[in-house]
Amino acid sequence: MSGTRGWSPRCVTWLGLCVNALLSAGKVGAGLVFGSQAILTDGLHSASDLVTDFAVLWVLWVSERPADDDHHFGHLRAATLVALFVGAMLLLAAIWIAGQALWTLRERHAEVRPLVPLVWAVASVLLKEWLFRLTRAVGHRVRDPSIVANAWHHRTDAFTSVAAAAGLLGIMVGGVEWAFLDHVTAVGLAVYLGYVAVNIVRSSASELMDRAPDPRTMAFIEGLVASTPGVRSYHAVRARRLGGRVSMDLHIHVDPSLTVRQGHDIATKVERRIHQASLGVAHVVVHVETRLEPSGRPRMVLLGTTLIPCPSGGSLVEAANGGWW
């Protein structure tokens, strides 16, 4: 979605909170006054969205705090924890929507005056879908999983409003006998929301378990390291996802004849290239070595001007002398 540069995560979350407060008040009021159980339930669901909005606002405050004596890597994990919480809330909402729709399928519907509740339902669909797209775009731009998860919570409200609108429209067209459309639509949308919620929970849980970035990202990072001038080889590349970002460390081998300052300058170039690649790397530590360590062997070696895989036997000296061939 274009035009999100002017929106900060905090601003878009406050916007969502205000919209949720307005919609919940309007839909609950319309449900009570005009006798619509569907829009009343939808309004209560909008009110529940306020909980996740406050949770995201809290995590934005916490995650921006700098590293301290108790949290040496900062507080980015807070975003992952809230994303896990929002995903669990989404899953519970999906189960509740489907259960409520199936449980009340055979109930006789009371007399409903559907016009005003239908207007509120349509307004909710339009506002919450727009809010979903805006919030998701901001979340992807700043790489914050809690913002992206909260965006999907906005879409749950849009989907429940779709179900409410379907039932209310059915009542307007065919009378109470068509109100079952509300239930059928709700079950279908709940299944989709459950699928999204499970993915959010699974992604957040894997991040808490220090899962590495995807293979394409890792290959791109290793390519940057290998092509940095002065880097003869590298090994022990480790990376983990951290609050939507990446924290990593690696070892590089340089010419043994270089001074400490020259080796440090090469490491700084590696760090700068990784940060400038816009991969969302928050922390990177480069260890400089001038020889093979007993614990490991370089994954790649520079032979002349060609980067080749390091075989299981031999050494850098043998490689340079052509001993592998």
The span from the CA of 7 to the CA of 23, in Å, is 22
Residues 219, 160: one domain?
Answer: no
Winning range, highest mean pLDDT, from 28-32, 85-89, 257-261, 278-282: 257-261
Show the 3-state SS of the chain.
CCCCCCCCHHHHHHHHHHHHHHHHHHHHHHHHHHCCHHHHHHHHHHHHHHHHHHHHHHHHHHHCCCCCCCCCCCCCHHHHHHHHHHHHHHHHHHHHHHHHHHHCCCCCCCCCCCHHHHHHHHHHHHHHHHHHHHHHHHHHHHCCHHHHHHHHHHHHHHHHHHHHHHHHHHHHHHCHHHHHHHHHHHHHHHHHHHHHHHHHHHHHHHHHCCCCCCHHHHHHHHHHHHCCCCCCEEEEEEEEEECCEEEEEEEEECCCCCCHHHHHHHHHHHHHHHHHCCCCEEEEEEEEECCCCCCCCCCEEEECCEEEECCCCCCHHHHHCCCCC
On average, the pLDDT of the chain sits at 79
Residues 57, 100: one domain?
Answer: yes
Domain limit, last residue, from 208, 243, 265 = 208
Residue 4 within a domain: no
Residues 241, 305: one domain?
Answer: yes
Query: How far are the Cα atoms of 172, 297, 300, 318 from residue 294, in angstroms, in the given order?
Result: 78, 8, 16, 17
| pLDDT level of residue 109 (50, 70, 90 thresholds) | low
Q: Are 217 and 279 in contact (CB under 8 A)?
A: yes
Q: Are 310 and 301 in contact (CB under 8 A)?
A: yes
| pLDDT level of residue 91 (50, 70, 90 thresholds) | confident
Question: What CATH number did the domain enclosing 257 receive?
Answer: 3.30.70.1350
Give the mean model confidence (pLDDT) for residues 41-70: 77
Residues 249, 234: one domain?
Answer: yes
Residue 139 within a domain: yes
Torsion of CA 127, 132, 137, 142, to 10 degrees: 120
Residues 237, 194: one domain?
Answer: no
- Condensed to tens digits (0 to 9), the pLDDT of residues 198-236 reads 888 888 888 888 888 888 889 899 999 999 999 988 998
Domain limit, last residue, from 192, 208, 224 = 208
Residues 149, 260: one domain?
Answer: no
Residue 245 within a domain: yes
Give the mean model confidence (pLDDT) for residues 142-156: 84
- Condensed to tens digits (0 to 9), the pLDDT of residues 261-300 reads 988 999 999 999 998 887 778 889 999 987 544 554 545 5
Residue 168 within a domain: yes
Residues 227, 175: one domain?
Answer: no
Instruction: Inform me whether the pLDDT recorded for 320 exceeds 50.
Output: no
| pLDDT level of residue 133 (50, 70, 90 thresholds) | very high
Residue 325 within a domain: no
pTM: 0.61
Residues 92, 239: one domain?
Answer: no
* Count of domains forming the chain: 2
Domain limit, last residue, from 208, 243, 274 = 208
pLDDT at 182: 66
Residues 225, 289: one domain?
Answer: yes
- Copy the structure tokens of residue 322: 């052509």
Residues 190, 294: one domain?
Answer: no
Residues 176, 193: one domain?
Answer: yes
pLDDT at 4: 67
Residue 270 within a domain: yes
Residue 240 within a domain: yes
- Cβ atoms < 10 Å from Cβ of 42: 32
Residues 199, 232: one domain?
Answer: no
Question: What CATH number did the domain enclosing 107 receive?
Answer: 1.20.1510.10
Phi then psi for residue 240, to 5 deg, are -145, 150
pLDDT at 107: 66
pLDDT at 227: 92
Q: Which domain holds residue 309?
A: 215-320
Selection from 229, 215, 231 nearest residue 286 by Cα? 231
Residue 255 within a domain: yes
pLDDT at 86: 77
| pLDDT level of residue 304 (50, 70, 90 thresholds) | very low
